[in-house]
Every structure is written in C-alpha cells, then in structure tokens.
Amino acid sequence: MCGITGYVGSRQVAPILVEALGYLEYRGYDSAGIAVLHDNKIDISRSIGKVSSLKFLVQQKKVEGQIGLGHTRWATHGQPSEKNAHPHSDCHGKIVVVHNGIIDGHMELKKVLENEGHIFSSQTDSEVLAHLIEKYYDGDLSVAVGKVLKNILGSYSLGVMHVDHPGLLVVARHQSPLLVGCGDNENFISSDIRAILSQTRRIIFLEDQEMASLTAKDIHIETIDGKKIDRKPHFVEESLEQSEKNGYDHFMLKEIFEQPTAIKRTLESRVFEDKKSGLLSVDMGFDEEEIKNIKNIVIVSCGTSWHAGLIARRYIEKLCKIPVSVEYAAEFRYNEPLIDRKTLVIGISQSGETADTLAAIREAKKYGSRIIALCNVVGSSLSREADRTIYTYAGPEIGVASTKAFTCQLTLLYLLALDLAYKNKQMDGDEVSKCIMKIQGITASIEKSLSTENLDKIKHISCKYSQSRNFLYLGRGSGFAIALEGALKLKEISYIHAEGYHAGEMKHGPIALIDKNMPVVVLALKGRRYDKILANIAEIKARDGKVIAIATEGDDAIVELTDEVIYVPDVDRFMTPLVAVIPLQLLSYYIAFQRNCDVDQPRNLAKSVTVE
C-alpha cells in the first residue's frame, strides 16, 4: 500500500508534509515525494528510498508554499524509481496527483490518452489520473475530478492540486482509506490518522466514492455523483506516543513487549463480572436468535491473520461444536463458496484494509451471509463493511511483522468461542467464567516468556543460527499453526527461507531436507501429541538435523533429545498458542537484527496489502 497526505493553510507546508510522510513510511517505503503550489507554480520533489532522503532534498531546495501533497510509495506498477515516485503531473505541470490504490485497465486508458497526444513520464497507473483530469478539466477542478472518478474502475485515495486553484485541494476515496483533519484555518488529509494526529484530533472519515474540496477555511464533502454530504468530525482519543518507539530499537520489539498490556486491554473491552455471583462473562454481541441460525462458520483472512483463523477454528469447533473452515481470502473471493444465510463469515484483519480480505467479505455478502470483522483499526474499510466489528485493542501496530495484533486476535477469538458456546448451550456460566480466568492469567505467563533469562537464551540461539540459509518449523495441533506463524515471522524480516510444516507430514517429503545445516524449530509442548513430537525430533536427530525445541517449563527430559530448548510456562491447552508464539517472535527479531535487516520495514513488504 502507499500513503498520501496533504495540507492547506497559512504555515510552510513542506516540513508538515515531510513529517507526516515519516508517520506513513511504514505503509510503503520504495520512494517518496511532495508537490508544493506557490506563486502559480507547482514544485515537485521526489526521491527513492526512505523519507529521510526526501527530507534532505526538500531542505536543500528550500521549498516554499502553504499548500501541498505528499506520498510514500509501495510499488505496484513500475519499479521503485524517481520517475515512478509520486506526485505525478499532467502534460503541462499544471495538475498534480498523489494516489494510493490501483486503476483497473490503466494500460488501455493510457493508450487512448497517448493517441490524444498526452505525454507520459512514468510506468505507473496513477499518472493516468493526472492526464484524465487534464482531459476533463474545464475550469472547475472538483467537477473534473468527479467526472474522471465516475469513468474509471479501481481503488483510490487521491489528492489533486491545480495551479489555477492555489488554495484548493480536491481529494477522493474508494476502497483505500482517506481521512480529513480539521484544523483552525488549516486542513489536512492523510491515509492514516497517525500522520496528522500531532496537528489535529478532529477527523472526518471519508467513505467509498466520496470526495472533498478543502481550502484553509472550508471543507465540502460530496459523493462523486455530486450529492452533498454533511459530516461532522470525530474527536479522536488515541495518543501519538502509543505509536512511538519508547526507547526500543524497533517498533517490532516494542510491540512484542506490549503484548501483555494489549491483551489485558482487549480482555477488559469484552469481559464483565457479575458483582453478586462473582462470575465472569463475555459479550461479543451475539444474540441467541442469531446463533440459532448459524449452521457453519467461514473465516477469511491473509498471512498472520490467517494463522489466527486456524487457531480460532480449534476454539470454535471444540467449544461450540460448530463446523469452521478457514479460507485464504485470495482464494475464497474467486471460489463460488458453498455458503448462505446460515453461514457466519468472520473477516480477520489487523489493518482492516487488506484488499483480498475486503473482496472476500464482499463476495460473502452476495450469499446473504452475516459478516463479522475482527479488526485493529477503528474506522477501517473492513469495519465499515461488516455487519458488526469486534476490535482488538492492540494499539497502533507499526512493525510490518504482526505480533501484538496476532495475540490480541487469538484473545478475542477465544472469547468469541466462549460467547458462542454459552449462547448455544455448549457451556454453562460457571465453565465460561473459569475459562475467562485462564485467559486473564495468560498475560503473566507471557511476561514470564519475555524474561531476561529467556531473552538472553534466544539472543544466543539467534547468533548461532543467524547465518543459516533455511529453517523448518514443525508442530502438531495448534502447534502447527504456530509453526506456520513462526516461519512467516522469520522469512519476512530476516529474508531466510523458512517453512512451517505439520510434524506428522515430515516423513512424506520434507525429511529429505534434513542435514546438519538445517535448524528445525519444533513446537514440543506437553500435550496429547507430545510423544509423537518426540518421535519426530528423533527422526531429525537421526539425520544430524539441529533441533530448537519450544518446550513446557519443567520438561527436563527434552534437553537430552535436542540442541536448544526455549521454555514457556505450562498453561491450559487452549492458551498454549499465546505463549508458544512469543519465543518465535523474539527468535525472528534477533536473527533479523543480527543480519542487519530493516526489521520494521522489510524489503518488498507493506504493513497492509491494499492491492490485489
């Protein structure tokens, strides 16, 4: 995904835009740029790489002006380069656009425009918008933008300026988030609230197919069809320091350590205590009528959120006896799914902006299924399109590798299973209360897993294996989902190839990979499958593989059978994923750190994949 921002007011705009882009950099960091309108001229500054390069360029140029647009890019069409960086302009440099999203059929549109004499300077789909606005412009910028948006398909959060309208920003949104920040005689736009929170807390969330015309004093909102909209700003409570590193080397490490607090916050949002009986209960907003009609549940998500879905399936099937399928959103959206009004579809997404997940729930709606979103971003697209949203309270997750959002997702999904189980009479109030107490205790167990002793051991292991070229992660039951998650964490931030596999599947192929250069991380927690896991460990050791075991505290026997052991507290079987994932998050972090990788902004990745 990309990030866009803009400002119109009386202050110098360049530093405001560059500061905002710094907060948007986690969204995309292939290149960045700003455009400033001053003295009837638009000055464009663009650079590849980090926002810091752009900041240096802008300072050198001493860019002046009180209105401008900014952009951080995650390349979709056209490689990362200065000429493909936004902002893009029309043929005469009178119009500039910044865009997050994808314009469908942009090659055909480009051909038509080139045949009409338009000259393109980039390989991007976004530049087509600048030339289309030029084509339709007839003195009213807002009308021209509306005409263009009615004649294209695709997704956009869009900012436009024209030299003939020195005090005007025209912006629009469809399937890519865009916020308007209301200041005193100044106004802002941004893809993400964090980029403007230091300027204003009065925020207007634009909805799909809406556009706004901003001057320093006024904000006019309408649909792209011209229907006026009167929308009051929200006052946003979130604090900026929640998003800062607070002394940690990386956001990811901070977010790993924030997990106990984040889980506590998430629990408090949904758990209630009956003062008389002392029983704990949970309310996820289901009513008995709604639950009576649920025949099956489908979970749609991507990446780490899909791993959360695998674990949720175990919670729901074992506690509620309702069949659950967990689908890759990218597949589900094209699969003509066998669902109907009796299917509950749960979309899990930290960002709430993942294109595949949004498309999957839109597909599900066509079948009359009820849609619940499990999301970490208030006001995100997913939360707007679902019938109901259950929010994790992880706080802003800036590191591209998801950590605290994942454990908060598991927390909420467990509570959801308890609520469903209680309301469809699979559990009574006393059983539910006991289960809630177990998950309330998990934060202490996670804190234990984050102990200095554990960290030192994990740092030591990271040093030992940081130059390995491949890793295998093995598990059974919920350990298999955690193996997948651990492998994803490692590969996405350290660039080491890592594969999560079901331990029982080893002998059906992967065992051929085992030799002395293959570290194998094994989820070897006490439980029904423990003996089977020990057998898998023996198979690996018999072929000189190196075994790093994630084991249950007190299990001394495993030391003799493995090369490394990282202990986690002995917790209830449903709680093990929440503690077992912690050492894997830390292992991936410290290996990536050892390898001098860009932990928070790994190459080729974006925090939320808002394009297909």
Q: Which span (7-15, 102-110, 297-305, 527-535) binds ligand AGP, by CB under 6 A?
A: 297-305
Quick check: 176 binds ligand AGP (CB under 6 A)?
no
Provide the phi-psi class of 39: left if phi over 0, else alpha when psi is between -120 and 50, else beta. left
Question: CA 362 to CA 378: how far, in whole Å?
Answer: 19
Quick check: 213 binds ligand AGP (CB under 6 A)?
no
Query: What DSSP letter does each residue of 32-94 carry, written as one string?
Result: EEEEEEETTEEEEEEEES-HHHHHHHHHHHT---SEEEEEEE--SSS-S-TTTSSPEE-TTSS
Contacts of residue 406, defined as CB under 8 A and 6 or more positions apart, other chains included, come to 304, 305, 307, 308, 350, 485, 581
To the nearest whole angstrom, how small is the minimum distance from the Cβ of residue 347 to ligand AGP? 9
To the nearest whole angstrom, how small is the minimum distance from the Cβ of residue 351 to ligand AGP? 3
Contacts of residue 493, defined as CB under 8 A and 6 or more positions apart, other chains included, come to 252, 400, 401, 588, 589, 592, 597, 599, 602
Question: CA 363 to CA 351: how far, in whole Å?
Answer: 19
Whether residue 2 lies in the annotated active site: yes
Which parts of 449-508 interact with ligand AGP (CB under 6 A)?
492
* Pair 173, 160: CB distance under 8 Å: no
CA 525 to chain centre: 29
Quick check: 357 binds ligand AGP (CB under 6 A)?
yes
Q: How many residues comprise the chain?
A: 612
Helix residue ranges per DSSP H, 326-449: 329-332, 355-365, 381-385, 404-423, 429-449
Q: Which span (31-39, 122-130, 260-268, 343-351) binds ligand AGP, by CB under 6 A?
A: 343-351
**Which listed residue (130, 189, 401, 503) binds ligand AGP by CB under 6 A?**
401
Quick check: 302 binds ligand AGP (CB under 6 A)?
yes
Quick check: 303 binds ligand AGP (CB under 6 A)?
yes
**Which listed residue (142, 351, 588, 601) binds ligand AGP by CB under 6 A?**
351
To the nearest whole angstrom, how small is the minimum distance from the Cβ of residue 376 to ligand AGP? 8
- Number of residues forming the site for ligand AGP (CB under 6 A): 15
Quick check: 389 binds ligand AGP (CB under 6 A)?
no
- Give the residue with the Cβ less far from ligand AGP, 132 or 401: 401
Quick check: 402 binds ligand AGP (CB under 6 A)?
yes
- Give the residue with the Cβ less far from ligand AGP, 219 or 416: 416
Residue 517 CB coordination number (10 Å)? 13
Contacts of residue 308, defined as CB under 8 A and 6 or more positions apart, other chains included, come to 301, 348, 406, 409, 410, 413
Among residues 55, 94, 110, 607, which one is catalytic? 607
Question: CA 521 to CA 472: how far, in whole Å?
Answer: 6
- Give the residue with the Cβ less far from ligand AGP, 84 or 304: 304
Residue 324 CB coordination number (10 Å)? 20
Quick check: 350 binds ligand AGP (CB under 6 A)?
yes
To the nearest whole angstrom, how small is the minimum distance from the Cβ of residue 48 to ligand AGP? 23
Structure-token pair, residue 269: 């949002």
To the nearest whole angstrom, how small is the minimum distance from the Cβ of residue 27 to ligand AGP? 11
**Which listed residue (89, 122, 349, 462) binds ligand AGP by CB under 6 A?**
349
Q: Which span (144-152, 346-354, 507-515, 545-553) binds ligand AGP, by CB under 6 A?
A: 346-354
Quick check: 311 binds ligand AGP (CB under 6 A)?
no
- Give the residue with the Cβ less far from ligand AGP, 190 or 402: 402
- Give the residue with the Cβ less far from ligand AGP, 354 or 462: 354
245-492-475-482 Cα dihedral, nearest 10 degrees:
40
To the nearest whole angstrom, how small is the minimum distance from the Cβ of residue 511 to ligand AGP? 27
To the nearest whole angstrom, how small is the minimum distance from the Cβ of residue 357 to ligand AGP? 5
To the nearest whole angstrom, how small is the minimum distance from the Cβ of residue 304 to ligand AGP? 3
To the nearest whole angstrom, how small is the minimum distance from the Cβ of residue 592 to ligand AGP? 12
Closest CA to 589 of 499, 496, 502, 523: 496
Q: Which span (96-104, 170-178, 277-285, 301-309) binds ligand AGP, by CB under 6 A?
A: 301-309
* Pair 258, 395: CB distance under 8 Å: yes
Quick check: 359 binds ligand AGP (CB under 6 A)?
no
Q: Which span (347-355, 383-391, 531-539, 556-564) binds ligand AGP, by CB under 6 A?
A: 347-355
Question: CA 345 to CA 294: how far, in whole Å?
Answer: 10
* Pair 210, 158: CB distance under 8 Å: no
- Residues 364, 365, 370, CA angle at the centre, nearest 5°? 90
* Pair 365, 392: CB distance under 8 Å: no
Quick check: 608 binds ligand AGP (CB under 6 A)?
yes
- Give the residue with the Cβ less far from ligand AGP, 328 or 367: 328
Among residues 2, 375, 435, 597, which one is catalytic? 2
CA 48 to chain centre: 23
Quick check: 305 binds ligand AGP (CB under 6 A)?
yes
- Residues 542, 546, 547, CA angle at the centre, nearest 5°? 95
Quick check: 610 binds ligand AGP (CB under 6 A)?
no
To the nearest whole angstrom, how small is the minimum distance from the Cβ of residue 252 to ligand AGP? 9
Q: Which span (6-14, 330-338, 344-352, 498-506) binds ligand AGP, by CB under 6 A?
A: 344-352
Quick check: 609 binds ligand AGP (CB under 6 A)?
yes
Q: Is the dihedral of CA 103, 105, 110, 112 positive or negative?
A: negative
**Which listed residue (243, 354, 392, 478) binds ligand AGP by CB under 6 A?**
354
- Give the residue with the Cβ less far from ligand AGP, 188 or 306: 306
Residues noted as catalytic = 2, 607
Interface positions with ligand AGP (CB under 6 A): 302-305, 349-351, 354, 357, 400-402, 492, 608-609
